Amino acid sequence: MLLFFISPWIGWALVPLTVWCIVFFRDPERATPLGAGLITSPADGRLLPVGCAAPPGELGMGPEPRVRLSIFMNVFDVHVNRVPLDGNVVALSYRKGRFFNAAFDKASEHNERMSIRIRGEREAGDLAVVQIAGLIARRIKCDLVQGQQVRRGERFGIIRFGSRLDVFLPPGAQVLAVPNQRVKAGETVLAQLLLTRF
């Protein structure tokens, strides 16, 4: 409001930027689906083609390739991230890196990232979630701590201004989402875990 008193022109010029910032940082409530072994999307955005890759080495999950689901968030998507499954945080690792376009596969390997390893309940296996900075994004925020118990759909962080999240599934998980599908954090089911004990 002060800018309108100083210069109405500047005030009106900054209105679109102000509105966009309000929209960007919105955090709507979500209805997380119930059911054992469900993996929900940790981010809003578009699901990229399903691939296979080794999880980040710093998480200690081994070199074997796993199914990787990647979600690209544009600057208009909700950027609050949510936990994809019930379990315990067993490892966290932040790594500095570059800022390639997050829609490219090389972003997973070379860009700045925060890697999270979650051990699912009922011996479903370990899952990795990786927050990846993009071309415009310059800040990754993760509120999780090692040893923390987490619940599917809980908020855990945010990546500011366009980015990507990768989910490395446990062996045997069945992918339910399809490439190019629009997904919502905490609501859209990405996969179903193979539970070995009930």
Catalytic positions, please?
163
Cβ atoms 107, 164 nearer than 8 A:
yes
Among 88, 85, 128, 123, which residue's Cα sits nearest to residue 108? 128
CA distances from 193 to 37, 102, 173, 190 (A): 5, 27, 4, 10
Cβ atoms 165, 142 nearer than 8 A:
no
Report the alpha-carbon distance of residue 5 to residue 32 in Å, rounded: 45
Cβ atoms 38, 193 nearer than 8 A:
yes
Q: CA dihedral in degrees (53, 76, 78, 128; nearest 10)? A: 10
In whole angstroms, what separates CA 83 from the centre of its chain? 8
Report the alpha-carbon distance of residue 58 to residue 109 in Å, rounded: 12
